[in-house]
Amino acid sequence: MLEILISLFALSIGAGFIGSISGLGGGVFIVPALVILAHMPMKVAVGASLISVVATSAGASVAFVRDGWTNLKVAMVLECATVTGAVIGAYLAGVVPTVVLELLFAAMMLQSAYFTITKRGDDILTKGDALAERLGLGGEVPDVDGHPVHYEVVKVPQGGALMVVAGLMSGLLGIGSGALKVMAMDYIMHLPLKVSSATSNFMIGVTAGAGALVFLARGDVATTIAAPVAIGVTAGALTGSRLLPHLKVEALRTVFVIILVLIAAEMGWRALSGI
């Protein structure tokens, strides 16, 4: 038993650590680690991963909420979309063939790789559209001198539509879908980058929680796997966030992209070759 626990802890601590320093979250790495290295069925890996995403997001969002970057109203509006998608996705994960899940996972890895290499803008809109203003989605961020700058938000329905997809992928594949969430808020809704990241982190736990509840209630979470994985991923993510200020993440960006592309290739190959 000790050997199994040590190997599960090692895998999950590594996944949590890389997920934390890459900003992509542990789920992106723990699912392939469990499937490829621990030889677990995809659905078991997805269930365990959803639980670990809930655990890590709890720790991460504490810091972001404390720092005041999270836009609670934007989070709540978009959570309506992500939770809907996550419940549908987690339900479908019970009936969709594994080969489809593996192919979708490979596609999401490539999307995450694209997200990692893409430079994002940090433009601040001072005029929002009618719906965003009616919902009071604007907020304030400090400028370089620490003075508050007001920002507004646009294209809430379009952002919400992408959030349904993010929730769907989260429930289906056991990932936080942080890359999709930040893209929706940053590219489509034009939220400031730090606000997008913080709000995404705040939302990830709720999205993954919705999927995890479906898996738990259905009996698709193997406690034997999920328990050590949740502890390990959380420990890895905490270590990653502590070391993050001392690491040259920009230099590691290429390594992350290579890892993501390799995972996508492996998962795609597994799906197509029927391993």
Residues at the interface with another protein (CB under 8 A): 1-2, 4-5, 38-41, 44, 51, 54-55, 57-59, 61-62, 65-66, 68, 70, 72-73, 76-77, 79-80, 83-84, 86-87, 90-91, 94, 135, 139-140, 202, 205-206, 208-228, 230-231, 234
Q: How far is the CB of 6 from another protein (least distance, A)?
A: 11
Query: Tokens for 98?
Result: 């594994």
Residue whose token pair is 């994002």 = 120
Coil, helix or strand at residue 142: strand
**C-alpha of 133 from chain center:** 28
Strand residue runs (E) in 77-171: 139-142, 148-151
Q: Count CB atoms within 10 A of the CB of residue 3.
A: 7
Q: Which is nearer to another protein, 67 or 255 (CB)?
A: 67
* CB neighbour class for 273 (10 Å; exposed up to 12, middle 13-18, buried from 19): exposed
The encoded tokens of residue 181 equal: 């969430």
- 8: Cβ contacts below 8 Å, ≥ 6 apart: 38, 225, 228, 229, 232
The nearest distance, CB 88 to another protein, in angstroms, is 9
Nearer to another protein, 115 or 155 (CB): 155
Looking at the Cβ atoms of 264 and 271, the one nearer to another protein is 271
- Is 60 or 259 the residue whose CB approaches another protein more closely? 60
The distance of closest approach from Cβ of residue 109 to another protein in the complex, given in angstroms and rounded to an integer, is 23
Question: Minimum Å distance from CB 41 to another protein?
Answer: 5
Compute the least distance from the CB of residue 247 to another protein, in Å: 24
Nearer to another protein, 147 or 246 (CB): 147
For residue 235, the minimal CB distance to another protein (Å) is: 10
When the beta carbons of 91 and 252 are compared against another protein, the nearer one is: 91
Say if CB 13 and CB 168 are below 8 A apart.
no
Q: Which residue has the tokens 């979250």?
A: 25
